[in-house]
């Protein structure tokens, strides 16, 4: 048997208007996800997804991210801690070879920033890294991707997720929470 450290992952999004009220988000199901990957974004309640106050999805830990984690474990590389969250408008499916977001947002309140980092318990004490960042928008975007990095620009990407558009407007805030569970 081969010993392994797995990185399970979940990402959640909560969108609020300028008054702090939660706005509905589309949570796609398996069929909705498959259709979107095949360039058919169809939103049929109970068939391809549902409206919700908190959208939750899985991400992909990319190859460069796996190498970065190995470097952090044994100190043989120069990787910094993965504490920066970026969002974007790219729609290409996440791929293990990705090193950047498709189209990272850098203006209008959507620029990459340092998240509040902590450890929480999922299976055993402190086995999950949590990153929380709230964006406050001064412009509108159709946010469709998110990623975790180890620098405020460039750097190594740990993970990436692509999802149905979250339409944000001037005055909205978007809370992004990444939970990376080490198994």
User: What does the domain layout of the chain look like in residue ranges?
Assistant: 60-182
Tell me the C-alpha to C-alpha distance, in Å, between residue 103 and each of 25, 71, 86, 96, 111: 21, 27, 10, 17, 11
In tens, the pLDDT along 51-63 reads 999 999 888 899 9
Does the pTM surpass 0.85? The reply is yes
182 against 148, higher pLDDT: 148
Cβ 29 vs Cβ 48: under 8 Å: yes
In tens, the pLDDT along 123-137 reads 899 989 999 999 999
**pLDDT band for position 78 (cuts 50, 70, 90):** confident
């Amino acid at each position: 048997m081969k010993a392994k450290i797995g990185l399970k992952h979940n990402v959640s999004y909560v969108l609020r208007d300028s008054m702090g009220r939660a706005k509905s988000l589309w949570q796609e199901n398996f069929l909705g996800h498959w259709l979107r990957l095949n360039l058919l974004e169809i939103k049929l309640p109970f068939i391809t997804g549902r409206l919700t106050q908190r959208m939750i999805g899985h991400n992909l830990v990319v190859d460069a991210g796996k190498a970065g984690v190995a470097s952090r474990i044994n100190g043989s590389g120069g990787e910094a801690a993965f504490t920066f969250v970026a969002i974007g408008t790219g729609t290409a499916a996440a791929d293990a070879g990705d090193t950047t977001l498709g189209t990272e947002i850098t203006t209008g309140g959507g620029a990459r920033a340092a998240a509040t980092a902590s450890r929480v318990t999922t299976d055993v004490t402190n086995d999950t890294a949590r990153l929380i960042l709230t964006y406050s928008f001064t412009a509108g975007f159709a946010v469709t991707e998110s990623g975790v990095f180890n620098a405020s620009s460039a750097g190594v990407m740990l993970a990436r997720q692509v999802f149905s558009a979250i339409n944000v407007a001037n005055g909205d805030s978007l809370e992004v929470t990444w939970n990376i569970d080490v198994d």
